[in-house]
Structure 1
């Protein structure tokens, strides 16, 4: 009995040391609700939709103390659809994030499927990342502020915060033999926080975006006659730009909190360069070439009416110019939101979005309203409404 007690004591002590040196956390979000689209290709649509304010997910996050101020870290994060149980991000098992790395005094280096610098430093200042979800994202999330697309094969550095400043960068290897620049992605960004003031800015550069960026999920459009299929989705805001040789995004944002209120603003310039590269994707118009540009400006406001009740409002103006500055489209979008917390981990919310379009869209047709990630309208106007519940664990 004494020998058994001694063994049990030693095992308990060793286990305690192991737990103190390393940890693994299971976490997740389940976001589900009723959604209404007043014009889905000409018809009204009523349906349940998963993961609007936050994508429904579960994940594992862990760390191990390596000594000397260093620790190994990892994240494996899965997205899923509550209504069907199917995997998100095109069917990838860990499509939201999957990386491993080392963190210490001089910063953090991680390798795997990760977020770009625009998502890290400017995205949180957009209403869509706060209380409006993907419905409140800029049209077609053309600047990726709302994190529609992830980056595969990425090496990423994040600095520690010094005097309120932090910065980071990411480089994704294209992996194409004999062409180091094909499919490569890189980004840089930085942020500053000083009490109520938050600032952020970032740059993103993507080669062959239809394949490397928009095709980074598990479902990729098949090639036809040697030309890659389009992975840009069904939104005519950008769907005509699959043949771009390069995608470039410059973004910046700021917010300031006074009392219970926070006012914010973001700006982005998105360019689809080198259109007509059929090694990147299909060109919708014969002879299309040059550069198409989208400028997005947003002002947003949120008010913490009570500790449990948040109110939000936002306005987004998007101006797209056709190839090399030709006339394009204009999109006016307004959003309102209410979020009520039943507890620290459970809340119910409502988001309403209205969009008005005019001009000529990326496909060369009269612009129709196209709220992000829902079926585009058949006219120049569209409204969407969502009532939902979100639980975090």
Structure 2
């Protein structure tokens, strides 16, 4: 770590006589398709919807080899709508990620800028990941779909005996209305991988965090009546996530548990979600996947079943079919599958056919 910090201080002196090689890569993804919802606020709906099975992105990444195991790197990435051309993340130029950093092969990497908090790593343990974001928590209270922090400093370690880890601190000042951390935020993780097994744990703690309370499907959140458009800025959002997966031949199984604690004006509530499922590679180009999810928040419960079929046309392009069904219970609770809208009843069904391309 001392070597990494020292390199940060010395590099400006060396830059005028830099001799290192550098590279810049253009990358991105585009996903689009048709979604059917049997109950979208009281009526059925068929709509074009993009960025569901993988959020659309266009970006640049680059690195420069400084010698002696040192390198600098950067990433600039924006999100966009394939159907309207609009920028994502509220219209930010590089709303998905924008950071620069320095790394040492034997120690790890230090990066600064707008970055995903470590909760995004739990995606690796989400069963049926290729089934898309319909399978995450209704309002993404546990941030598993991937959320960014502004003004963030992140350290990610190298791999030691199969273990990796990291810690992040995000300053709250000048975060703006489009940030997911109006106050300070802390995120940390540890992961282990060996052969076909991997596991990880993440802790994220955010002050003054905006949450989409109205999309949970609950009638009240933290003692407040909510509508589908209600957003609450909670005093504190603390997320603990633990996941594991195991791959053997054509089969893989995964489990993910998240515990999200919310605090607002002296009231607290906890959302607990358990996902269980796996994938079956019928052939190298054909994948079936499925999972069940159990979600408990205050007096509300949601039970969701997800099934996905994926056909790979090439290494970069695939077509897919996703099916999601949810049943809710609890006083005033309705079904509310992620990225749709709350149903008018305690059940909801979503189907989707789409195409995805990576470049």
TM-score, normalising length: structure 2: 0.87
Q: Distance in 2 between matches of 1:29 and 1:292?
A: 36
Equivalent residue pairs, number: 327
Per-residue CA deviations over 1:314-350 (Å, capped at 9, x if unaligned) read 00000112xxxxxx10000010001100011110011
In the TM superposition, what is the alpha-carbon distance from 1:258 to its structure 2 partner? Answer: 1.7
Q: Distance in 2 between matches of 1:232 and 1:359?
A: 16
Partner of 1:15: none
Q: 1:194 to 1:132 in 2, by over 3 A?
A: same
Contact kept in structure 1, 2:20 and 2:66, CA below 8 Å: no
2:327 to 338, 356, 364: 356
Equivalent position SS for 1:113: strand
Query: Within the alignment, does 1:174 sit opposite 2:172 as a pair?
Result: yes
Equivalent position SS for 1:41: coil
Contact kept in structure 2, 1:138 and 1:372, CA below 8 Å: yes
In the TM superposition, what is the alpha-carbon distance from 1:173 to its structure 2 partner? Answer: 0.6
Contact kept in structure 2, 1:135 and 1:353, CA below 8 Å: yes
Partner of 2:162: 164
Partner of 1:68: 68
Partner of 2:13: none
Q: Mark the runs of 5 or more structure 2 residues left unpaired by the alignment.
A: 1-17, 175-180, 223-231
Query: Within the alignment, does 1:36 sit opposite 2:36 as a pair?
Result: yes
Q: Distance in 1 between matches of 2:282 and 2:70?
A: 42
Q: Distance in 2 between matches of 1:239 and 1:162?
A: 46
Partner of 2:349: 383
Partner of 1:82: 82
Query: Within the alignment, does 1:319 sit opposite 2:284 as a pair?
Result: no
Q: 1:110 to 1:307 in 2, by over 3 A?
A: same
1:346 to 304, 312, 317: 317
2:284 to 298, 303, 307: 307
Contact kept in structure 1, 2:156 and 2:166, CA below 8 Å: yes
Equivalent position SS for 1:53: coil
In the TM superposition, what is the alpha-carbon distance from 1:79 to its structure 2 partner? Answer: 0.5
Equivalent position SS for 1:123: helix
Q: 1:137 to 1:76 in 2, by over 3 A?
A: same
TM-score, normalising length: structure 1: 0.80
Contact kept in structure 2, 1:142 and 1:238, CA below 8 Å: no
Q: Distance in 2 between matches of 1:238 and 1:190?
A: 36
Contact kept in structure 2, 1:232 and 1:238, CA below 8 Å: no
Q: Mark the runs of 5 or more structure 1 residues left unpaired by the alignment.
A: 1-17, 215-230, 277-288, 322-327, 361-365
Contact kept in structure 2, 1:207 and 1:247, CA below 8 Å: yes
Query: Within the alignment, does 1:143 sit opposite 2:142 as a pair?
Result: yes
Partner of 2:114: 113
- Structure showing the higher strand proportion among its residues: 2
Contact kept in structure 2, 1:34 and 1:387, CA below 8 Å: yes
Contact kept in structure 2, 1:127 and 1:137, CA below 8 Å: no
Equivalent position SS for 1:209: strand
Partner of 1:331: 302
Partner of 1:247: 237
Q: 1:182 to 1:145 in 2, by over 3 A?
A: closer
| Higher Rg of the two aligned structures | 1
In the TM superposition, what is the alpha-carbon distance from 1:234 to its structure 2 partner? Answer: 4.0
Contact kept in structure 2, 1:139 and 1:237, CA below 8 Å: no
Per-residue CA deviations over 1:346-379 (Å, capped at 9, x if unaligned) read 100111111111114xxxxx01100011111011
Per-residue CA deviations over 1:37-69 (Å, capped at 9, x if unaligned) read 110000011011111111011110000122221
